[in-house]
């Protein structure tokens, strides 16, 4: 009798788990990107691979992308964040773009096949968060490692070039000597 209760409990928990992962579908504009050396989850970026960037889906999620113009579809893995241009819902690698027969922007529909774990890869966990701090001298930008700063560590300095962008003005000015 206990085994029957356990089996019922397991089946009920599995059904609740499936119900909690609601189906995700979205339609909008897809774009492509080919630059970058690392993705947001720490992987080396391969522009000819089959991957994509999405603003909110967890890393490792598998998504079917269907091109509304050509009718072609492909399953991609989310391993980056983006797109950072308004009105777009997904950024595709060049390999995924070619497989879908896209030329530039294209209307697509997304359907999640499986949700990822939202964890980043280990190489990304090894990198420490960095905070940019502008000094009064616009030629030098102090880069403070937030973990070592909390532990009393020293800041590192990097040259920023002769020009700096003033926040909000949209103008560039040459730094004073």
Domain chopping of the chain, boundaries: 23-122, 128-164
Q: Classify residue 90 by its DSSP letter.
A: E
Write down the pLDDT at residue 48.
93
Q: For each of the chain's 177 residues, which pLDDT tens digit applies?
A: 577 777 776 665 555 555 445 578 899 999 998 888 899 999 999 999 999 999 999 999 999 999 999 999 999 999 999 999 999 999 999 999 999 999 999 999 999 999 988 654 443 333 434 333 333 333 333 334 444 344 444 444 444 444 444 444 444 444 544
Write down the pLDDT at residue 36.
80
Tokens linked to 145: 């490692």
Tokens linked to 166: 């003033």
Other C-beta atoms closer than 10 Å to the C-beta of 173 total 11
Helix (H, G, I), strand (E, B) or coil at 171: coil
Roughly how many angstroms between the first and final C-alpha of the chain, as a whole number?
84
Peptide bond preceding 83: is omega within 30 degrees of 0, i.e. cis?
A: yes
Supply the pTM of this predicted model.
0.56
Pick among 3.30.1780.10, 2.40.40.10, 1.10.10.60, 3.40.50.1100: CATH of 23-122 = 2.40.40.10
CB 63 within 8 A of CB 74: no
Residues 6+ apart with CB under 8 A from 91: 30, 31, 32, 33, 52, 53, 54, 80, 82, 83
């Amino acid at each position: 009798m206990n085994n029957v209760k356990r089996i019922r409990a397991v089946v009920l928990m599995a059904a609740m788990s499936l119900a909690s992962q609601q189906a995700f579908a979205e339609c909008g504009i897809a774009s492509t990107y080919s630059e970058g050396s690392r993705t947001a989850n720490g992987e080396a970026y391969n522009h000819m691979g089959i991957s994509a960037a999405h603003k909110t889906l967890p890393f490792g999620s598998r998504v079917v992308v269907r091109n509304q113009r050509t009718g072609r579809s492909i399953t991609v893995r989310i391993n980056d964040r983006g797109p950072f241009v308004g009105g777009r819902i997904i950024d595709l690698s060049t390999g995924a773009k070619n497989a879908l027969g896209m030329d530039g922007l294209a209307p697509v529909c997304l359907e999640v096949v499986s949700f990822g774990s939202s964890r980043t890869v280990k190489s990304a966990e090894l990198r420490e968060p960095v905070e940019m701090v502008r000094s009064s001298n616009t030629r030098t930008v102090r880069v403070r490692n937030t973990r070592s700063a909390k532990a009393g560590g020293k800041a590192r300095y990097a040259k920023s070039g002769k020009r700096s962008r003033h926040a909000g003005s949209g103008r560039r000015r040459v730094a004073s000597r």
